[in-house]
A and B are shown apart, each in its own frame.
Chain A
Amino acid sequence: MPATKFTPSIISRPIYGGLTPHGAVPALMLASGPGGEALLDLIAADPAVLPHATVIYIPEGSDLGPRLEAQGPASYVEAASYASILPRFRKLLAEALMNTRLYLAGTEGLIGQATAEALAAGMLLEAIEAEHRGSLARRMQCVHCKGITEDVTTDPFTCSHCGLSLFVRDHYSRRYAAFQGVCVDAETPGEVPPKQEIKA
Protein backbone atom coordinates (compact mmCIF):
# COMPACT_ATOMS: atom_id res chain seq x y z
CA MET A 1 0.00 0.00 0.00
CA PRO A 2 1.49 3.37 -0.95
CA ALA A 3 1.71 6.33 1.41
CA THR A 4 -1.73 7.82 2.11
CA LYS A 5 -2.22 11.33 0.72
CA PHE A 6 -4.59 13.68 2.50
CA THR A 7 -6.35 16.54 0.84
CA PRO A 8 -4.75 19.71 2.24
CA SER A 9 -8.15 21.16 3.22
CA ILE A 10 -7.79 20.55 6.99
CA ILE A 11 -5.33 23.15 8.20
CA SER A 12 -4.88 21.85 11.75
CA ARG A 13 -3.92 18.35 10.55
CA PRO A 14 -0.15 17.72 10.60
CA ILE A 15 1.56 17.05 7.28
CA TYR A 16 3.52 13.80 7.39
CA GLY A 17 6.66 14.22 5.33
CA GLY A 18 7.50 10.55 4.79
CA LEU A 19 10.47 8.64 6.17
CA THR A 20 13.81 10.25 5.30
CA PRO A 21 16.81 8.22 6.51
CA HIS A 22 19.31 9.85 8.88
CA GLY A 23 22.06 7.25 8.52
CA ALA A 24 23.92 5.33 11.19
CA VAL A 25 22.56 6.92 14.37
CA PRO A 26 20.44 5.20 17.06
CA ALA A 27 16.88 4.81 15.78
CA LEU A 28 13.50 3.91 17.25
CA MET A 29 11.12 2.60 14.58
CA LEU A 30 7.45 2.15 15.40
CA ALA A 31 4.97 0.97 12.78
CA SER A 32 1.49 -0.51 12.56
CA GLY A 33 -0.17 -2.58 9.81
CA PRO A 34 0.76 -1.34 6.31
CA GLY A 35 3.22 1.09 7.98
CA GLY A 36 5.60 -1.90 8.01
CA GLU A 37 6.05 -1.37 4.27
CA ALA A 38 7.22 2.19 4.89
CA LEU A 39 9.91 0.81 7.24
CA LEU A 40 10.97 -1.75 4.59
CA ASP A 41 11.22 1.11 2.05
CA LEU A 42 13.27 3.16 4.53
CA ILE A 43 15.70 0.28 5.17
CA ALA A 44 16.03 -0.34 1.42
CA ALA A 45 16.77 3.35 0.82
CA ASP A 46 19.54 3.43 3.45
CA PRO A 47 20.58 0.13 5.09
CA ALA A 48 22.83 2.13 7.45
CA VAL A 49 19.76 2.93 9.61
CA LEU A 50 19.38 -0.74 10.54
CA PRO A 51 22.29 -1.79 12.84
CA HIS A 52 21.33 0.75 15.52
CA ALA A 53 17.54 0.39 15.14
CA THR A 54 14.98 -0.87 17.62
CA VAL A 55 11.91 -1.91 15.64
CA ILE A 56 8.48 -2.18 17.23
CA TYR A 57 5.78 -3.56 14.95
CA ILE A 58 2.04 -3.76 15.60
CA PRO A 59 0.80 -6.10 12.81
CA GLU A 60 -2.96 -5.35 13.05
CA GLY A 61 -3.58 -8.36 10.81
CA SER A 62 -0.74 -7.64 8.41
CA ASP A 63 1.88 -10.34 7.66
CA LEU A 64 4.92 -8.03 7.31
CA GLY A 65 6.39 -9.02 10.71
CA PRO A 66 8.70 -11.83 9.55
CA ARG A 67 10.08 -9.69 6.71
CA LEU A 68 10.85 -6.82 9.09
CA GLU A 69 12.54 -9.14 11.59
CA ALA A 70 14.56 -10.78 8.76
CA GLN A 71 16.13 -7.38 7.94
CA GLY A 72 18.17 -7.84 11.12
CA PRO A 73 17.66 -4.69 13.25
CA ALA A 74 19.47 -4.38 16.59
CA SER A 75 16.24 -5.52 18.21
CA TYR A 76 12.76 -6.44 17.01
CA VAL A 77 9.54 -6.58 19.04
CA GLU A 78 6.00 -7.36 17.92
CA ALA A 79 3.16 -5.87 19.92
CA ALA A 80 -0.58 -6.54 20.09
CA SER A 81 -1.45 -2.83 20.27
CA TYR A 82 0.03 0.62 20.88
CA ALA A 83 -1.41 0.55 24.42
CA SER A 84 0.36 -2.75 25.16
CA ILE A 85 3.73 -1.49 23.93
CA LEU A 86 3.48 1.99 25.48
CA PRO A 87 5.40 1.17 28.71
CA ARG A 88 8.29 -0.25 26.66
CA PHE A 89 8.20 2.67 24.18
CA ARG A 90 8.37 5.10 27.11
CA LYS A 91 11.37 3.27 28.56
CA LEU A 92 13.14 3.35 25.18
CA LEU A 93 12.49 7.11 24.91
CA ALA A 94 13.72 7.70 28.44
CA GLU A 95 17.00 5.94 27.56
CA ALA A 96 17.39 7.64 24.16
CA LEU A 97 20.31 9.96 23.38
CA MET A 98 20.41 13.32 21.59
CA ASN A 99 21.24 11.69 18.24
CA THR A 100 18.33 9.21 18.41
CA ARG A 101 15.86 9.47 15.53
CA LEU A 102 12.26 8.31 15.69
CA TYR A 103 10.62 6.80 12.59
CA LEU A 104 6.83 6.39 12.74
CA ALA A 105 4.63 4.75 10.11
CA GLY A 106 1.02 3.66 10.17
CA THR A 107 -2.29 5.20 11.13
CA GLU A 108 -2.66 8.85 12.02
CA GLY A 109 -3.68 7.86 15.57
CA LEU A 110 -0.45 5.93 16.09
CA ILE A 111 1.73 8.70 14.64
CA GLY A 112 0.01 11.36 16.73
CA GLN A 113 0.17 9.48 20.03
CA ALA A 114 3.78 8.40 19.58
CA THR A 115 4.79 11.95 18.54
CA ALA A 116 3.15 13.45 21.64
CA GLU A 117 4.94 10.87 23.80
CA ALA A 118 8.32 11.63 22.21
CA LEU A 119 7.87 15.41 22.57
CA ALA A 120 7.01 14.93 26.25
CA ALA A 121 10.25 12.96 26.63
CA GLY A 122 12.12 16.00 25.28
CA MET A 123 12.64 14.89 21.68
CA LEU A 124 12.45 17.70 19.12
CA LEU A 125 9.92 17.52 16.29
CA GLU A 126 12.76 17.69 13.76
CA ALA A 127 14.11 14.37 15.10
CA ILE A 128 10.82 12.63 14.23
CA GLU A 129 10.04 11.24 10.77
CA ALA A 130 6.48 10.12 10.04
CA GLU A 131 4.62 8.51 7.17
CA HIS A 132 0.91 7.81 7.09
CA ARG A 133 0.00 4.40 5.68
CA GLY A 134 -3.31 2.66 5.91
CA SER A 135 -6.78 3.62 6.97
CA LEU A 136 -8.21 7.14 6.94
CA ALA A 137 -10.01 6.33 10.19
CA ARG A 138 -9.82 9.12 12.75
CA ARG A 139 -9.01 9.04 16.42
CA MET A 140 -11.76 11.20 17.96
CA GLN A 141 -12.06 12.97 21.28
CA CYS A 142 -15.57 13.67 22.58
CA VAL A 143 -15.49 17.32 23.69
CA HIS A 144 -18.25 16.56 26.22
CA CYS A 145 -17.03 13.50 28.18
CA LYS A 146 -13.36 13.76 26.94
CA GLY A 147 -13.33 10.03 26.07
CA ILE A 148 -11.37 8.88 23.01
CA THR A 149 -13.03 6.74 20.34
CA GLU A 150 -10.50 5.00 18.07
CA ASP A 151 -10.88 4.17 14.36
CA VAL A 152 -13.89 6.35 13.56
CA THR A 153 -14.86 5.92 9.91
CA THR A 154 -18.27 7.63 9.78
CA ASP A 155 -19.65 11.10 10.44
CA PRO A 156 -21.60 11.35 12.71
CA PHE A 157 -20.59 8.54 15.05
CA THR A 158 -21.52 7.37 18.53
CA CYS A 159 -19.13 8.21 21.38
CA SER A 160 -17.90 4.90 22.82
CA HIS A 161 -17.89 6.42 26.31
CA CYS A 162 -20.98 8.61 26.82
CA GLY A 163 -23.09 7.48 23.86
CA LEU A 164 -23.73 10.93 22.37
CA SER A 165 -24.01 11.24 18.58
CA LEU A 166 -20.95 13.26 17.59
CA PHE A 167 -20.22 15.40 14.54
CA VAL A 168 -16.64 14.85 13.23
CA ARG A 169 -14.94 18.26 13.25
CA ASP A 170 -11.93 19.00 11.03
CA HIS A 171 -10.11 20.22 14.12
CA TYR A 172 -7.03 18.24 15.09
CA SER A 173 -5.34 18.50 18.50
CA ARG A 174 -1.65 17.53 18.51
CA ARG A 175 -1.75 17.43 22.31
CA TYR A 176 -4.44 14.72 22.30
CA ALA A 177 -3.46 13.29 18.90
CA ALA A 178 -7.19 13.35 18.06
CA PHE A 179 -9.87 15.21 16.14
CA GLN A 180 -12.67 16.82 18.09
CA GLY A 181 -16.21 15.37 18.12
CA VAL A 182 -19.16 17.63 19.04
CA CYS A 183 -22.77 16.60 19.86
CA VAL A 184 -24.67 16.71 16.56
CA ASP A 185 -28.21 16.84 17.97
CA ALA A 186 -27.86 19.16 20.94
CA GLU A 187 -30.42 21.68 19.59
CA THR A 188 -32.84 19.06 18.27
CA PRO A 189 -32.43 15.88 20.37
CA GLY A 190 -32.91 12.73 18.33
CA GLU A 191 -32.55 14.43 14.94
CA VAL A 192 -29.26 12.84 13.83
CA PRO A 193 -28.25 13.29 10.19
CA PRO A 194 -27.53 10.11 8.19
CA LYS A 195 -24.04 8.62 8.59
CA GLN A 196 -21.51 9.29 5.84
CA GLU A 197 -18.15 7.63 5.31
CA ILE A 198 -15.13 9.77 6.19
CA LYS A 199 -13.15 10.20 2.97
CA ALA A 200 -10.35 12.58 4.00
Chain B
Amino acid sequence: MSAQMLRVTEIEALSPLVKRFRFEHPGGKKLPLFSGGAHVVVEMPDGDLLRRNAYSLISDPQDGSGYEIAVRREDGGRGGSRFMHANVSQGDTLRISTPLNLFALDARARKHVLIAGGIGITPIIAQMRQLLRMQDRFEIHYAARSRSEAAGLRLLPRLPHIHSHISDEGDRMDLGAILDRQPIGTHVYTCGPEGLITAVAQCAARLGWPRGSLHSEVFLAPPPGRTFEVTLAKSGRTVTVGPHQSLLEALEEAEVDIDWSCRGGACGRCETDVVSCHGRIEHNDHWLSEDEHSSQTKIMPCVSRFRGRELIIDR
Protein backbone atom coordinates (compact mmCIF):
# COMPACT_ATOMS: atom_id res chain seq x y z
CA MET B 1 0.00 0.00 0.00
CA SER B 2 1.65 3.24 -1.11
CA ALA B 3 1.51 6.10 1.36
CA GLN B 4 3.31 9.32 2.25
CA MET B 5 3.90 11.47 5.30
CA LEU B 6 1.58 14.49 5.23
CA ARG B 7 1.35 17.44 7.57
CA VAL B 8 -1.82 18.39 9.45
CA THR B 9 -2.45 22.01 8.41
CA GLU B 10 -5.98 22.63 9.71
CA ILE B 11 -8.20 21.18 12.43
CA GLU B 12 -11.75 22.49 12.77
CA ALA B 13 -14.67 21.35 14.93
CA LEU B 14 -17.68 20.81 12.66
CA SER B 15 -19.85 19.67 15.57
CA PRO B 16 -19.21 18.59 19.19
CA LEU B 17 -18.24 15.09 17.95
CA VAL B 18 -16.84 15.71 14.47
CA LYS B 19 -13.55 17.34 13.51
CA ARG B 20 -12.30 18.22 10.07
CA PHE B 21 -8.59 17.57 9.37
CA ARG B 22 -6.63 18.92 6.42
CA PHE B 23 -3.41 17.27 5.29
CA GLU B 24 -0.81 18.78 2.96
CA HIS B 25 2.55 17.68 1.64
CA PRO B 26 5.29 19.12 3.93
CA GLY B 27 7.26 20.25 0.86
CA GLY B 28 4.20 21.77 -0.80
CA LYS B 29 4.05 19.06 -3.51
CA LYS B 30 0.74 18.31 -5.24
CA LEU B 31 -1.04 15.18 -4.03
CA PRO B 32 -2.58 12.64 -6.42
CA LEU B 33 -6.12 13.60 -7.47
CA PHE B 34 -8.96 11.20 -6.71
CA SER B 35 -12.65 10.70 -7.49
CA GLY B 36 -15.70 11.36 -5.33
CA GLY B 37 -16.29 8.54 -2.84
CA ALA B 38 -12.59 7.71 -2.36
CA HIS B 39 -11.02 7.07 1.04
CA VAL B 40 -7.55 7.14 2.56
CA VAL B 41 -6.12 5.04 5.37
CA VAL B 42 -4.59 7.13 8.17
CA GLU B 43 -1.83 5.56 10.26
CA MET B 44 -1.78 6.53 13.93
CA PRO B 45 1.24 5.59 16.04
CA ASP B 46 -0.45 5.15 19.43
CA GLY B 47 2.19 3.95 21.89
CA ASP B 48 3.08 0.37 20.99
CA LEU B 49 0.12 0.17 18.67
CA LEU B 50 -0.04 1.26 15.05
CA ARG B 51 -3.69 2.08 14.40
CA ARG B 52 -4.96 2.30 10.84
CA ASN B 53 -8.40 3.71 10.04
CA ALA B 54 -10.03 4.38 6.67
CA TYR B 55 -11.67 7.79 6.23
CA SER B 56 -13.57 9.11 3.21
CA LEU B 57 -12.14 12.24 1.61
CA ILE B 58 -14.41 15.29 1.77
CA SER B 59 -12.27 17.74 -0.21
CA ASP B 60 -12.56 18.56 -3.92
CA PRO B 61 -11.35 15.52 -5.92
CA GLN B 62 -9.74 17.86 -8.47
CA ASP B 63 -7.77 19.80 -5.82
CA GLY B 64 -4.33 18.30 -5.22
CA SER B 65 -3.24 20.97 -2.73
CA GLY B 66 -4.45 18.84 0.19
CA TYR B 67 -6.70 16.06 1.46
CA GLU B 68 -9.49 16.65 3.97
CA ILE B 69 -11.36 14.15 6.14
CA ALA B 70 -14.04 14.46 8.84
CA VAL B 71 -13.67 12.21 11.87
CA ARG B 72 -16.49 11.44 14.29
CA ARG B 73 -15.30 10.64 17.80
CA GLU B 74 -16.56 7.17 18.71
CA ASP B 75 -16.18 6.95 22.48
CA GLY B 76 -17.17 3.28 22.45
CA GLY B 77 -14.87 2.48 19.52
CA ARG B 78 -11.39 0.92 19.45
CA GLY B 79 -9.56 4.20 19.89
CA GLY B 80 -8.61 5.40 16.39
CA SER B 81 -11.09 8.26 16.30
CA ARG B 82 -10.31 9.18 19.95
CA PHE B 83 -6.61 9.33 18.98
CA MET B 84 -7.41 11.65 16.06
CA HIS B 85 -9.45 13.94 18.35
CA ALA B 86 -7.14 13.96 21.37
CA ASN B 87 -3.60 13.34 20.12
CA VAL B 88 -3.35 14.97 16.69
CA SER B 89 -2.42 18.65 16.52
CA GLN B 90 -1.78 21.12 13.75
CA GLY B 91 1.78 20.69 12.46
CA ASP B 92 1.96 16.95 13.19
CA THR B 93 2.81 14.57 10.35
CA LEU B 94 0.91 11.34 9.75
CA ARG B 95 1.31 8.59 7.18
CA ILE B 96 -1.63 8.78 4.76
CA SER B 97 -2.27 6.22 2.01
CA THR B 98 -2.93 7.01 -1.62
CA PRO B 99 -6.70 7.45 -2.16
CA LEU B 100 -8.72 4.44 -3.28
CA ASN B 101 -12.34 4.46 -4.40
CA LEU B 102 -14.76 1.62 -3.62
CA PHE B 103 -17.77 3.94 -3.88
CA ALA B 104 -17.39 5.69 -7.23
CA LEU B 105 -20.16 7.43 -9.14
CA ASP B 106 -21.59 5.32 -11.98
CA ALA B 107 -20.69 6.92 -15.30
CA ARG B 108 -23.82 5.44 -16.92
CA ALA B 109 -26.11 7.44 -14.65
CA ARG B 110 -28.26 10.23 -16.04
CA LYS B 111 -29.21 11.31 -12.53
CA HIS B 112 -27.60 10.66 -9.14
CA VAL B 113 -29.52 10.42 -5.85
CA LEU B 114 -27.17 10.58 -2.86
CA ILE B 115 -28.53 9.44 0.50
CA ALA B 116 -26.53 9.90 3.70
CA GLY B 117 -27.19 9.10 7.32
CA GLY B 118 -25.09 10.81 10.02
CA ILE B 119 -21.33 10.72 9.44
CA GLY B 120 -22.09 8.75 6.22
CA ILE B 121 -22.26 12.19 4.61
CA THR B 122 -18.45 12.25 4.18
CA PRO B 123 -17.97 10.37 0.85
CA ILE B 124 -21.08 12.09 -0.47
CA ILE B 125 -19.49 15.52 0.06
CA ALA B 126 -16.67 14.65 -2.39
CA GLN B 127 -19.14 13.02 -4.80
CA MET B 128 -21.17 16.26 -4.68
CA ARG B 129 -18.09 18.35 -5.47
CA GLN B 130 -17.40 16.12 -8.49
CA LEU B 131 -21.03 16.31 -9.66
CA LEU B 132 -21.11 20.10 -9.32
CA ARG B 133 -17.95 20.29 -11.44
CA MET B 134 -19.34 17.90 -14.08
CA GLN B 135 -22.70 19.74 -14.01
CA ASP B 136 -24.47 16.40 -13.65
CA ARG B 137 -28.03 16.14 -12.40
CA PHE B 138 -28.21 15.11 -8.75
CA GLU B 139 -30.04 15.45 -5.44
CA ILE B 140 -28.79 14.87 -1.89
CA HIS B 141 -30.82 13.67 1.08
CA TYR B 142 -28.99 13.95 4.38
CA ALA B 143 -30.52 12.59 7.56
CA ALA B 144 -29.25 13.51 11.02
CA ARG B 145 -30.64 13.28 14.53
CA SER B 146 -30.23 16.89 15.60
CA ARG B 147 -29.03 20.11 14.07
CA SER B 148 -26.15 20.44 16.55
CA GLU B 149 -24.88 16.91 15.73
CA ALA B 150 -25.29 17.34 11.97
CA ALA B 151 -21.69 18.05 10.95
CA GLY B 152 -22.70 17.71 7.30
CA LEU B 153 -24.70 20.93 7.45
CA ARG B 154 -21.42 22.85 7.61
CA LEU B 155 -20.17 21.13 4.45
CA LEU B 156 -23.28 21.22 2.27
CA PRO B 157 -24.07 24.31 0.18
CA ARG B 158 -27.59 25.72 0.36
CA LEU B 159 -29.07 24.53 -2.91
CA PRO B 160 -32.67 23.57 -3.72
CA HIS B 161 -31.71 19.97 -4.57
CA ILE B 162 -29.79 19.42 -1.32
CA HIS B 163 -32.18 18.37 1.44
CA SER B 164 -31.50 17.93 5.15
CA HIS B 165 -33.82 15.87 7.32
CA ILE B 166 -33.39 16.52 11.05
CA SER B 167 -35.41 13.91 12.92
CA ASP B 168 -35.40 15.95 16.19
CA GLU B 169 -37.35 18.62 14.36
CA GLY B 170 -39.91 16.09 13.14
CA ASP B 171 -38.44 15.87 9.62
CA ARG B 172 -37.74 12.20 9.02
CA MET B 173 -36.33 11.08 5.68
CA ASP B 174 -39.13 9.49 3.60
CA LEU B 175 -37.36 6.98 1.33
CA GLY B 176 -40.57 6.08 -0.53
CA ALA B 177 -41.10 9.72 -1.50
CA ILE B 178 -37.44 10.06 -2.56
CA LEU B 179 -37.33 6.96 -4.75
CA ASP B 180 -40.83 7.04 -6.24
CA ARG B 181 -41.13 8.32 -9.82
CA GLN B 182 -37.39 8.76 -10.42
CA PRO B 183 -36.54 8.72 -14.16
CA ILE B 184 -34.68 5.80 -15.76
CA GLY B 185 -30.94 6.22 -15.58
CA THR B 186 -31.12 7.16 -11.88
CA HIS B 187 -28.42 5.67 -9.65
CA VAL B 188 -28.66 5.77 -5.87
CA TYR B 189 -25.67 5.98 -3.51
CA THR B 190 -26.24 5.32 0.18
CA CYS B 191 -23.74 5.76 2.98
CA GLY B 192 -24.60 5.47 6.63
CA PRO B 193 -25.70 2.87 9.15
CA GLU B 194 -26.47 -0.66 7.87
CA GLY B 195 -30.14 -0.08 8.68
CA LEU B 196 -30.32 2.84 6.24
CA ILE B 197 -28.64 0.85 3.45
CA THR B 198 -31.05 -2.06 4.00
CA ALA B 199 -34.04 0.29 4.08
CA VAL B 200 -33.03 1.86 0.74
CA ALA B 201 -32.58 -1.60 -0.82
CA GLN B 202 -35.96 -2.78 0.46
CA CYS B 203 -37.76 0.36 -0.66
CA ALA B 204 -36.21 0.18 -4.14
CA ALA B 205 -37.13 -3.50 -4.45
CA ARG B 206 -40.71 -2.77 -3.39
CA LEU B 207 -40.96 -0.07 -6.08
CA GLY B 208 -39.63 -2.47 -8.74
CA TRP B 209 -36.18 -0.93 -9.27
CA PRO B 210 -33.39 -3.03 -10.80
CA ARG B 211 -30.80 -3.97 -8.15
CA GLY B 212 -27.83 -2.70 -10.20
CA SER B 213 -28.89 0.93 -9.76
CA LEU B 214 -28.09 0.83 -6.02
CA HIS B 215 -24.63 1.58 -4.63
CA SER B 216 -23.63 1.71 -0.99
CA GLU B 217 -20.66 1.87 1.29
CA VAL B 218 -20.30 0.95 4.91
CA PHE B 219 -16.94 0.68 6.58
CA LEU B 220 -16.91 -1.64 9.51
CA ALA B 221 -14.66 -1.21 12.46
CA PRO B 222 -13.27 -4.64 13.36
CA PRO B 223 -15.71 -5.91 15.99
CA PRO B 224 -14.25 -7.03 19.32
CA GLY B 225 -14.67 -10.61 20.52
CA ARG B 226 -13.00 -13.41 22.41
CA THR B 227 -9.29 -14.12 22.11
CA PHE B 228 -8.60 -16.80 19.48
CA GLU B 229 -5.63 -18.52 17.90
CA VAL B 230 -4.85 -19.01 14.23
CA THR B 231 -2.20 -21.32 12.75
CA LEU B 232 -0.28 -20.16 9.67
CA ALA B 233 0.14 -22.97 7.13
CA LYS B 234 3.30 -21.54 5.48
CA SER B 235 5.41 -21.12 8.63
CA GLY B 236 3.58 -23.39 11.04
CA ARG B 237 3.50 -20.49 13.51
CA THR B 238 0.51 -19.66 15.67
CA VAL B 239 -0.71 -16.10 16.27
CA THR B 240 -3.01 -15.03 19.06
CA VAL B 241 -5.68 -12.42 18.31
CA GLY B 242 -6.68 -10.33 21.32
CA PRO B 243 -10.25 -9.26 22.17
CA HIS B 244 -9.87 -5.75 20.69
CA GLN B 245 -7.48 -6.71 17.90
CA SER B 246 -8.32 -7.86 14.37
CA LEU B 247 -6.73 -10.94 12.81
CA LEU B 248 -5.16 -8.61 10.24
CA GLU B 249 -3.57 -6.55 13.02
CA ALA B 250 -2.31 -9.71 14.73
CA LEU B 251 -0.77 -10.88 11.44
CA GLU B 252 0.92 -7.50 10.97
CA GLU B 253 2.25 -7.61 14.53
CA ALA B 254 3.73 -11.05 13.72
CA GLU B 255 5.28 -9.48 10.59
CA VAL B 256 3.34 -11.72 8.21
CA ASP B 257 3.34 -10.22 4.72
CA ILE B 258 -0.29 -9.45 3.88
CA ASP B 259 -1.82 -6.99 1.43
CA TRP B 260 -4.73 -4.84 2.56
CA SER B 261 -6.63 -1.76 1.53
CA CYS B 262 -9.88 -0.71 3.22
CA ARG B 263 -9.45 -2.64 6.49
CA GLY B 264 -13.24 -2.64 6.76
CA GLY B 265 -14.45 -5.81 5.02
CA ALA B 266 -15.38 -4.09 1.77
CA CYS B 267 -12.51 -4.22 -0.75
CA GLY B 268 -11.38 -7.85 -0.77
CA ARG B 269 -7.63 -7.20 -0.73
CA CYS B 270 -6.76 -9.21 2.39
CA GLU B 271 -8.92 -12.23 1.41
CA THR B 272 -7.23 -15.36 2.75
CA ASP B 273 -7.80 -19.04 1.99
CA VAL B 274 -8.66 -21.32 4.87
CA VAL B 275 -6.70 -24.58 4.85
CA SER B 276 -8.59 -26.24 7.67
CA CYS B 277 -11.32 -25.13 10.03
CA HIS B 278 -12.56 -26.95 13.12
CA GLY B 279 -15.03 -24.49 14.53
CA ARG B 280 -16.95 -21.50 13.22
CA ILE B 281 -15.64 -18.44 11.41
CA GLU B 282 -17.48 -15.29 12.52
CA HIS B 283 -17.74 -13.60 9.12
CA ASN B 284 -18.27 -9.84 9.44
CA ASP B 285 -17.35 -8.73 5.91
CA HIS B 286 -19.34 -7.46 2.92
CA TRP B 287 -16.93 -9.02 0.43
CA LEU B 288 -17.36 -12.82 0.41
CA SER B 289 -20.55 -14.38 -0.94
CA GLU B 290 -23.02 -16.23 1.27
CA ASP B 291 -21.77 -19.51 -0.21
CA GLU B 292 -18.18 -18.61 0.63
CA HIS B 293 -19.27 -17.68 4.16
CA SER B 294 -21.06 -20.97 4.76
CA SER B 295 -18.34 -23.11 3.16
CA GLN B 296 -15.75 -21.64 5.63
CA THR B 297 -13.03 -21.85 2.97
CA LYS B 298 -12.13 -18.15 3.02
CA ILE B 299 -11.76 -15.45 5.65
CA MET B 300 -11.37 -11.66 5.61
CA PRO B 301 -8.78 -11.06 8.37
CA CYS B 302 -9.62 -7.34 8.62
CA VAL B 303 -12.99 -7.86 10.30
CA SER B 304 -13.73 -11.58 10.79
CA ARG B 305 -12.99 -13.72 13.84
CA PHE B 306 -12.97 -17.40 14.79
CA ARG B 307 -14.44 -19.51 17.54
CA GLY B 308 -13.52 -23.17 17.86
CA ARG B 309 -10.72 -25.70 18.19
CA GLU B 310 -8.42 -24.93 15.26
CA LEU B 311 -8.17 -22.59 12.26
CA ILE B 312 -5.32 -22.96 9.74
CA ILE B 313 -5.01 -20.22 7.11
CA ASP B 314 -2.91 -20.08 3.94
CA ARG B 315 -0.42 -17.41 5.11
A interface list, Cβ under 8 A from B:
22-23, 25, 93, 96-101, 119, 121-127
Shortest Cβ gap from B209 to chain A (Å): 5
A97 and B70 CA atoms in complex are apart in Å by 36
- Within B147-196, which residues are at the interface with A (CB < 8 Å)? 179, 181-186
A124 and B184 CA atoms in complex are apart in Å by 8
A100 and B181 CA atoms in complex are apart in Å by 10
A96 and B181 CA atoms in complex are apart in Å by 9
Contact of B208 (CB < 8 Å), options: A22, A119, A123: A22
Q: Is B132 an interface residue (CB 8 A)?
A: no
A121 x B184 contact (CB < 8 A): yes
Q: How many A-B Cβ pairs are below 8 Å? A: 50
Contact of B212 (CB < 8 Å), options: A22, A100, A124: A124
B109 x A127 contact (CB < 8 A): no
B181 x A126 contact (CB < 8 A): no
Q: Is B108 an interface residue (CB 8 A)?
A: yes
Contact of B210 (CB < 8 Å), options: A23, A96, A124: A124
A123 and B213 CA atoms in complex are apart in Å by 9
Shortest Cβ gap from B141 to chain A (Å): 16
Interface centre among A23, A93, A122, A125 (most CB of B within 10 A): A122
Which residue of chain B has the shortest Cβ distance to A123 in the bound complex?
B184
Given A122-B108, A122-B109, A122-B110, check contact A98 B212 (CB 8 Å): no
Binding site secondary structure of chain A: loop
A101 and B209 CA atoms in complex are apart in Å by 9
Supply 10 A–B pairs (Cβ within 8 Å), ascending by A. A25-B208, A97-B183, A98-B179, A98-B183, A98-B208, A99-B209, A121-B184, A122-B109, A122-B183, A126-B211
Chain B contacts of A23 at CB under 8 A?
208
Which residue of chain A has the shortest Cβ distance to B179 in the bound complex?
A98
B207 x A98 contact (CB < 8 A): yes
A98 x B110 contact (CB < 8 A): no
Given A98-B179, A98-B207, A99-B207, check contact A121 B212 (CB 8 Å): no
B interface list, Cβ under 8 A from A:
108-111, 179, 181-186, 204, 207-213
Which residue of chain B has the shortest Cβ distance to A118 in the bound complex?
B184
Please give 18 more A-B residue pairs, beta carbons under 8 A apart, in addition to A99-B209, A121-B110: A22-B208, A23-B208, A25-B208, A96-B183, A97-B182, A97-B183, A97-B184, A98-B179, A98-B182, A98-B184, A119-B108, A122-B111, A122-B185, A123-B185, A124-B108, A124-B210, A126-B210, A127-B184
Chain B contacts of A97 at CB under 8 A?
181-184
Shortest Cβ gap from B186 to chain A (Å): 5
A99 x B185 contact (CB < 8 A): no
A125 and B211 CA atoms in complex are apart in Å by 11
Shortest Cβ gap from B151 to chain A (Å): 31
Chain B contacts of A99 at CB under 8 A?
207-209
Chain B contacts of A101 at CB under 8 A?
208
A98 x B108 contact (CB < 8 A): no
Chain A contacts of B181 at CB under 8 A?
97
Chain B contacts of A22 at CB under 8 A?
208
Shortest Cβ gap from B290 to chain A (Å): 20
A176 and B204 CA atoms in complex are apart in Å by 32
Which residue of chain A has the shortest Cβ distance to B207 in the bound complex?
A99
A93 and B183 CA atoms in complex are apart in Å by 9
A100 and B209 CA atoms in complex are apart in Å by 8
A12 and B61 CA atoms in complex are apart in Å by 37
Shortest Cβ gap from A17 to chain B (Å): 14
Which residue of chain A has the shortest Cβ distance to B182 in the bound complex?
A98
Chain A contacts of B111 at CB under 8 A?
122
B185 x A121 contact (CB < 8 A): yes
Chain B contacts of A96 at CB under 8 A?
183-184
Interface centre among A93, A99, A101 (most CB of B within 10 A): A99
A127 and B212 CA atoms in complex are apart in Å by 9
Chain B contacts of A121 at CB under 8 A?
110, 184-185
B211 x A98 contact (CB < 8 A): no
A91 and B212 CA atoms in complex are apart in Å by 24
A193 and B208 CA atoms in complex are apart in Å by 52
A119 and B109 CA atoms in complex are apart in Å by 10
Shortest Cβ gap from A30 to chain B (Å): 15
10 closest pairs, A vs B, by CB?
A122-B185, A99-B208, A25-B208, A122-B110, A96-B184, A126-B210, A127-B210, A124-B210, A98-B182, A124-B212
